[in-house]
Structure 1
Amino acid sequence: MKRIILLSFYFFTFAGTVFSQTNLSLEHIFAKETFKQKQFGPIRWMKDSKGYSSIEENQQIGGEDIVRYNPATGEREILVAAEEIIPEGADDPLEVSDYHWSADNRKLLVFTNTRKVWRYHTRGDYWVLDQDTRDLRKLGRGLPESSLMFAKFSPDASKVAYVSEYNIFVESLRTGEINQITQDGGGNIINGTFDWVYEEELGCRDGFRWSPDGESIAYWHSDTQDIGTFYLINNIDSIYSQPIPLPYPKVGEKLSSVKVGVVSAEGGESQWFDIPGDPQNNYLARMDFIPESQELLIQQLNRRQNTNTVWIGDSKDMSLTSILEEKEDTFLDIHDNLIWLEEQQYFTWTSERDGWRHLYKVSRDGQSMTLLTRGDFDVERISHIDPVAGYVYYIASPDNFTQRYLYRSPLHQTGEAERITPMGAPGQHAYQLSLDSKYAIHTFQNASTPPVISLITLPEHQTLRVLEDNQRLKERYDDLGLKPKEFFKVDIGEVVLDAFMIKPADFEPSKKYPLIFYVYGEPAGSTVQDSWMNGDLWHQYLSQLGYVVISIDNRGTKTPRGRDWRKSIYGQIGILASEDQHAAAEKILSTYDFIDGSRVGIWGWSGGGQMTLNCMFRYPDLYQTGIAVSFVSDQRLYDATYQERYMGLLQDNAAGYDEGSPINHASNLEGKLMIMHGTADDNVHYQSFEMLVDKLIAYNKLFSMMSYPMRAHGINERENTSLHLRKTMEKFWLENLTPGGR
């Protein structure tokens, strides 16, 4: 439910075509390729910081080369040519989905022939190319095709470990011997990777770690036996329906029992850390070896997700020492910014304990904690930590919550935040820094500028060369003659909210236009951002039909506005947000004379679908029309980890769950409602859709509905789906919310 649908738009054109708003058809947006954004990379900075590698198409034989660029001179060198990764007996090179170098840069690991596991392509085949012998070999011979996950070189690159069918294997690169080092994986037992909810809500996918000496492997072990099973039903690929079982812990139900163990890289019995607490009511959210040691740092999150206990575990005697406890009255987020400093005597730690999200330096025993990124602002994300130069580089935006800029602060002394991004380029900036912090791949974008990717020097921020400017895309977008997004503020008394507005290209301020609100409103994302978002062409298309489109970030959304802003939503998902949305809508209607208060619609996807329903059911006098896509109707139906993080446990907040669930307000529906869902949605189950349908029927409420068989949460699988969905939405708007100025 927390997913915002960030749309990828594709168009078709012929060279030299000049565009106008009349070219902006749904077929252009969702079925053809013209305004396709160009990428650069993926990029890997070399360990010596004297070059970066990338994947580039080989024009002669097809396939891809892995090339190296000298950042100072721009000199290009082919490190691995496409012809070097043609398997014996094959005609074509391997398709390089991802690649990794060994620590000595002498061996290359190529990930190919991939398969999706829930959200991401994390399962496939791995090949190793030896740079010295030029020998190319496939790993996991004898194991099922495309079954390998998270392959990693041992520290000395003599072996590779990987997961296949929920067990961990170690393969010798010298002899080719494959050693299965866990034996019980399969069924309800998962080794070295995770169940659905750990992946979706905690960002856990790769579930094992090599020890620094390469002698052992630490890994997560999950037992899903007591998780309730939800069944997706495939009715369209066979004459008999096919149930698809999905272990999925709903609110208040049992979680996986998870533990961390250590096993020799040669195999044998695993040893387990006896971490206090019920393993079914705590999360082991992070684990890794401390560099140059046999100790692990383990983060244990309680079920309420408001206490994170940090343990140091000794892999030799399996002893545990608690060194740090992070606590909140509401909820905590897990961060991946932990870097060891000063010969592993300190580590970096992200906390909101002073009211803002900041980076701290913590001693190994947890007894001292020093604030590094001081100031009344949020660190939106860490870009790079450079212990040698003594700086942490991070993204923040103290003055405009819709934008992002690069700052740095010293690691070893107290100092003020230093802005690195120059003034004069408003929007969002992202950086991929070299290890020595002297260079960065810089990406700039804003709501009217597609990503421009450059190589720059730091800290001067001088551009050495532009790697991709997306200039043709920019020109074609500008040729459409669209009205740009206008960012503005909405003061609702208790707080001032950020919003954007898109007007029709032929807008006349003397006329009154219908209004469509686009809403998300949950704590996992934000809609009001000065970023490209692929031109936001769906909303631009709606504006060309004759609608004004507005989106508002209510309190609790994922914006860098401090702890109190984010935590305000705790225990009242669907309640506070819909109140803010309603108050902002009333303020907008009283402020802008060109908006017709008798023609107001609202739409959203996932959490935004739930918010759409809450707004329509709670405030039927204001919202006359709405479309809710892939929504949660009853919060008890969603997964425990997400919902309990923001709502608390069911036994502690049953009234909040009831009040925040739109299904309990369905009797108030007065407007015209369209609901849409994919029947194979593993994230927000189709059950939510059917339960709401059942309730609306009981209340004798008329509505429109559209189900997409065997489509998942994004409703984009199978032929023509995206175009059909948008045409269905367009038809509903045109028939139920009269477009155009009056």
Structure 2
Amino acid sequence: MKRLLLLGLMLGWLFQPVQAQQKKSISFSHIFDRTFSPEGIQNVNWMKDGQYYTALVRTNNDIELRKYDILTGDYEVLVASSGLRVEDRDRAIIIQDYQFSADENKLLIKTDVERIWRRSTKENYFVHNLETGKTAKLTQSDEKQQYAQLSPTGEKAAFVQNNNLYLVDLESGEEKAITTDGEENKIINGATDWVYEEEFGFAKAWYWSPDGNKIAFYRFNESRVKEFFMIEWGSLYPDQTRFKYPKAGEKNSIVKIGVYDLESQNTVWIDIGEETDQYIPRINWTENSGTLAIRRMNRLQNKQDLMLADVNSGKTQTIKTEDSDAWIDINDDLTFLENGEQFIYLSEESGYNHIYLYDMSGELVRQVTTGNWEVTNYLGYNEENERIYYISTEESPLQRHLYSIDISGDDKTKMSDGEGWNSVNMSRDHKYYIETYSSPEMPSVYTLHEGSGKEVRVLEDNNELKTTLEEYRMPEKEFMKIPLPQAELNAYMLKPSDFDSTKKYPVLFYVYGGPGSQTVSKRFDSGQRPIWHRYLAEQGYIVFSVDNRGTGARGRNFEKQVYKKLGQYEVQDQIDAARYLLDQYDFIDTARVGIWGWSYGGYMSSLVLAKGSDVFSTAIAVAPVSSWRFYDTIYTERFMQTPQMNPEGYEKGAPLTYAGQIEGNYLLVHGTGDDNVHFQNAVEMVNKLVSEGVQFETMYYPNRAHGISGGNTRQHLFKMLNQFILDNL
């Protein structure tokens, strides 16, 4: 008996370490198979009553639009694609997107969506009456439409087609052209040109007034903007895609703002000043359908006027002007109060982004939030309890937490817990909100809360993923601060799970580094790049990332040091951070330090290898800018002014300038169909490298856009990137 007991103890003792050793290894295939991807609460569209929301759900054979009770999770199917049919269409209407009428009795359904650029699409629309069950095509035209929306009363709709704005009466079916001068690559009504879409973040450029009797819209005259073209490979005689793309220092579209009156059928053009070389980044209706708010910026984007327009006369009054010694960021955070006397406005005039209350004459009532931290997300204002909801960096630039505050600036309340990252989806009536919380090693947890902050229930805890993560050897992030003479920088290090400080490890820097960006944060990352980084760590690499000067969440002075000097301070910070690591840690192999990045990150990695080849031996640049002369007006001039005004900055900030200094292993990757950072950047970089006698590797992806995706593309790309690191670092 004693021998059996002793044998059992020995077996137990032997079995325990074997179990510990049986943790699985991350494989390369995990980058794409979603093993480490958290479940989420997707497509939540709140209804008027905040207790309910709708979402599209794909079943085995159908797509259902479901209405959920947020408290119980119970749902009813409002409509399914299989039941949506109309005459003269030989197939069901697949619901790809939808919107409700104001009374929530009608649905405007989007289908047959065809993507154009990042945010722009064209599609077919159908109107479904939830009470009668009847479905009808929005317009009798055989051509696709854009940006359709029902009027606030639900009796009419408007849409864009072939660069013109149209109105349709849903009862009679009568259609009317609001504009008639639309023409491809010349005049656009109700939609944006390429550069507004990309850099100001919107494609639909028309808006119903609150009473539904007027429509405010943009008109772009891009006649003077030069055309860019991309070759469409794949046929015997390749075609071309031609579009207007204003490069830095070149001419922009001339923008006008019109307001169409449905009753008089006339358009009033708003007085936005005699200057045409300017921007109108936002227009918003106030609570009064007779007054339109317009934000106007100069071309350098360091001055912004808030104007109020009388839409009946077209006359405007500037009520507030904001100036900056660098640039002013655009946001959607402008709320007009129901009292018609005040508005909420966000600005970094104090040095940090904060919430302000103004009266309608533009006089400051008070600064609502204050402190050396940033409001990163303004969530809204509850008229009933007079509280403002927002997310900020008050705890740390690496974290995000939810707060509410009385509009008086008193009674600030922190509404989220834990050390990590919170995001919030709040109902329109502020009755409930869904909070998403994660930390670097904990997947997202979704919880439902009352507007007061009280937790109601857990919607998704991702416990299955937590269990999965425990089954794998998983490197953990180590956060640190890099104390450089010019600034203290936030960083993280990802070490192998079996890290041994007596060994030597190669280091791969991951960089983005562009203005306002952030790669160092205390949240759970599960995309392809983070999983690849964890995979590399388990292959014996240390992955490192540092947020250089110019990145976000640390106030105006930290971010805007890079003004007129893109690629100078940021690159120096990356090189100095690498030198700091080499000096501090004996476990780093000084001969094997690399860097990689995409877009702005590819731009940075190119410059880092050129200027820091004494530290870095390897760099990967995916879709990089090689000269800011090749990039668009709005983004580039926001940070660099024009090439004519700042020739030295453009010269010193161009990888082309330093291409001859590149030593080591350099891989340049680009898509030939990149409408954003044109393939021209790679072509010119290759040409310069060849002329300078620099050896390098390159890969181009035919017809692929800036994201380099589609079909097997991402698998091919990451396999190539991975092999390049294994071979050269």
Please report how far the alpha carbon of residue 660 of structure 1 lies from its aligned counterpart in structure 2 after TM superposition.
Answer: 1.0
Residue 703 of structure 2 corresponds to: 710
The percent identity for this pair of structures is 37
- Structure 1 SS opposite 2:586: coil
> Equivalent residue for 1:192?
190
Aligned residue identity for 2:205:
G
Q: CA RMSD in A?
A: 2.1
- 2:104 aligned partner: 105
CA distance in 2, matches of 1:383, 1:220: 26
Distance 1:97 1:160 in 2: 19
Instruction: Give how far 1:33 is off.
Output: 5.0
Measure, in 2, the Cα distance between the counterparts of 1:262 and 1:727. 53
Go from structure 1 to structure 2 and tell me whether the alpha carbon gap of 1:367 and 1:665 turns closer, same or farther (over 3 Å shift): same
- Hey, what does 2:52 align to over in structure 1? 51
Contact 2:351 2:555 in 1 (8 A): yes
Show the counterpart of 1:183.
Answer: 180
Instruction: Answer yes or no: is 1:335 the counterpart of 2:337.
Output: no
Structure 1 position 649 matched with structure 2 position 642: yes
SS at match of 2:402: strand
**Aligned counterpart, 2:167:** 170
| Deviation by residue 1:272-320 (Cα, 9 ceiling, x = unmatched) | 12311432x1001111221233111011111000011111111111111
**1:228 aligned to 198, 222, 226, which one?**
226
Distance 1:54 1:318 in 2: 40
SS at match of 1:227: coil
Q: Distance in 2 between matches of 1:354 and 1:276?
A: 28
* Matches of 1:153 and 1:690, distance apart in 2: 46
Task: Specify the SS of the correspondent of 1:533.
Answer: coil
| Structure-2 residue corresponding to 1:8 | none
Match of 2:605 in 1: 612
Equivalence for 1:311? 307
- Tell me the distance in 1 between the aligned counterparts of 2:91 and 2:492: 48
Taking a change above 3 Å as real, the CA distance of residues 714 and 90 of structure 1, as seen in their structure-2 partners, is same
Aligned to 1:584: 577
Which of 29, 45, 50 is 1:27 aligned to? 29
Cα pair distance change 1:726/1:277, threshold 3 Å:
same
Structure 2 residues without counterparts, runs of 5 or longer: 1-19
Q: CA deviation at 1:22?
A: 5.9
Mapped contact 2:357–2:365 kept (Cα < 8 A): yes
Q: Judge which range, 604-613 or 173-182, deviates more.
A: 173-182
Q: Distance in 1 between matches of 2:166 and 2:69?
A: 35
CA contact (8 A) 1:261 1:271 kept: yes
Gaps of 5+ in 1: 1-17, 738-742
Match of 2:525 among 533, 541, 563: 533
Shift of 1:685: 0.6
Match of residue 78 from structure 2: 79
Contact 2:478-2:494 within 8 A present in 1 as well: yes
Aligned equivalents of 1:474, 1:99: Cα separation in 2: 34
Moved more, 705-714 or 363-372: 363-372
The structure, 1 or 2, with the larger RCO (C-alpha pairs under 8 Å, 6+ apart) is 1
Alignment deviations for residues 616-642 of structure 1 (CA, whole Å, 9 cap, x no partner): 111110111111110011111111110
Query: 2:496 pairs with 504, 524, 546, which one?
Result: 504
Partner of 1:13: none
Q: Distance in 2 between matches of 1:682 and 1:83?
A: 36
Q: Which residue of 2 aligns with 1:9?
A: none
Residues paired across the two proteins, number: 707
- Tell whether 2:410 aligns with 1:407: no
**Is 1:131 aligned to 2:130, yes or no?**
yes
Give the drift of 1:433: 1.5
Quote the offset at 1:387 in angstroms.
Answer: 2.1
2:723 to 731, 734, 739: 731
Deviation at 1:90, TM superposition (A): 6.9
Residue number in structure 1 paired with 2:354: 358
Going from structure 1 to structure 2, the CA distance change for 1:204 and 1:90 (only over 3 Å counts) comes to: closer
Change (3 A) 1:442 1:170: same
- Cα separation, partners in 2 of 1:692 and 1:540, compared to 1, 3 Å: same
Structure 1 CA distance for aligned equivalents of residues 689 and 515 of structure 2: 28
Give 1:509 deviation, angstroms: 1.1
Q: 1:348 aligned to 2:344? A: yes
Matching residue of 1:548: 542
Amino acid at match of 2:275: D
Q: Shift in Å at residue 438 of structure 1?
A: 3.2
Q: Cα distance, 1:20 vs. partner?
A: 7.5
Matched, 1:557 2:551: yes
Cα separation, 2, equivalents of 1:305 and 1:511:
51
1:565-595 Cα offsets, whole Å, 9 max, x none, are: 1111111110010111111111111112211
Residue 528 of structure 1, CA deviation: 1.0
Q: Distance in 2 between matches of 1:414 and 1:625?
A: 51
**What does 1:129-528 align with in structure 2 at a 5 Å threshold?**
129-144=128-143, 147-187=144-184, 188-235=186-233, 237-265=234-262, 268-279=265-276, 281-411=277-407, 413-415=408-410, 417-422=412-417, 425-462=418-455, 464-528=456-520
Is the 1:64–1:95 contact (alpha carbons within 8 Å) kept by the matching residues of 2? no
| 3-state SS of paired residue (2:526) | helix
SS at 1:534 equivalent = coil
